[in-house]
Amino acid sequence: MRKKDLIWIFAIIIIALLIYSRLVENRDPIPTQLLEDENTSIRQEDSSNIREKEDILNFTRQNAITNSIKKVQPAVVSVNVIKTKIVRRRMSFFFNFYDEIPYNVKAIGSGVIFSNDGYIITNQHVVEGATEIKIILTDNRQFEGKIVGSDKIHDIAILKIDGKDLPFAKLGTSSDLIIGEWSIALGNPYGYLMKDSKPSVSVGVVSAVNRDFAENQNGKIYRRMIQTDAAINQGNSGGPLVNIRGEVIGINTFIFSESGGSIGIGFAIPIDRVKKQTKEIVEYGEIRKIWFGFKVQDINPMLASYFNLDNMNGVLVNNLEKGSPAQKAGLQKLDIITKINSSKIKDTTDAEMAITDITIGDRIILEIIRDGRRRSIEIIASEYKRESK
């Protein structure tokens, strides 16, 4: 290539670079507002994404358990009780002279409102011996509580408060409980101590049903109890045990524990029994006494041999009142009762446990053995009347 041609090529490149540089300098800059708008748009998109993620997270946090708690929580109350106890004080060191001094003891428990006119379910042992009862709601309203009636044997008490716009919980059923289904225990013993008097909540499952206990030293019989591992802590007695639908399925009553704290073995009174006793108390102010009109005894080896029985299961009717519901139904002395409704009877303890849930008007089906033959007898539970003696 000739030298002259190289000079022309170099000159053309220089001219092209100068033209390009001038074009770049004369180009309009990107408006600042446009840049700001683009940044704002990006921030808005990021904020929108964050809100959307938060909405999704909040949606997943809301579940059947939290919804159930929302339904029942406002109806759970704090039951604050003052009881008067009498203490004997020795007056003289040398002589057996005593006097009695009353003093007040404070106790706490929980309860649940089950009607809009202010009826409350709790445990009988929570209010036993109470001289003053104060009920505190989750909205911090306070009311004087009155005992409508109680069932000491089944450990149920019904209280009443007078108020307006009272929240209440729906009473469900305990007849179809499933082992392993969710159970939620609520209690509100410290409502008087806290500005936010919302109840405490613990979640577990129905561990077992139909747990029977013999009569305890206080004369209470706990039968067909619901067992749950939802923590029932001190002061939560009388509070509701709730299912996933927000329905009360039991009343929390006691725990098994060596330390006094929950170890996951708690028991609740089935709500079906509570509803029957509640109906009696609200309508009559007490649990009306049932008149059966017969007495039974255990079967020993001698009686089993005499009646040609294969075993000693069942109870023997050893006394029958004249004109009683049992006699009118056809029961006879020396009949052997082997079953009461759905409960198989092995001894008198079983017989007593089998009739604890029965109220006035219930049908009682007895399966008996008479003269070596099995038959059934139906008795309608009647109210005990003194003139019927």
DSSP characters over 352-365? HHHTTT--TT-EEE
| Distance (Å, whole) CA 372 – CA 374 | 7
112: nearest Cα among 172, 61, 52, 53:
172
Task: At 371, list the tokens.
Answer: 């003269």
Alpha-carbon distance of 378 to 329, in angstroms, equals: 6
What is the longest distance spanned by two Cα atoms in the chain? Answer: 147
At CA 287, angle to CA 286 and CA 293, rounded to 5? 135
Judged by DSSP in three states, 298 sits in strand
Catalytically active residues are: 125, 155, 237
Judge whether 351 and 326 are in contact, CB under 8 Å.
no
The terminus-to-terminus CA distance of the chain in angstroms comes to 143
Compute φ and ψ for 141, nearest 5 degrees.
Answer: -70, 145
Residue pair 82/130 in contact (Cβ under 8 Å)? The answer is yes
Measured in degrees and rounded to the nearest 5, phi and psi for residue 10 equal: -65, -40
For 253, the token pair is 């009553």
For residue 156, give both structure tokens: 């149920």
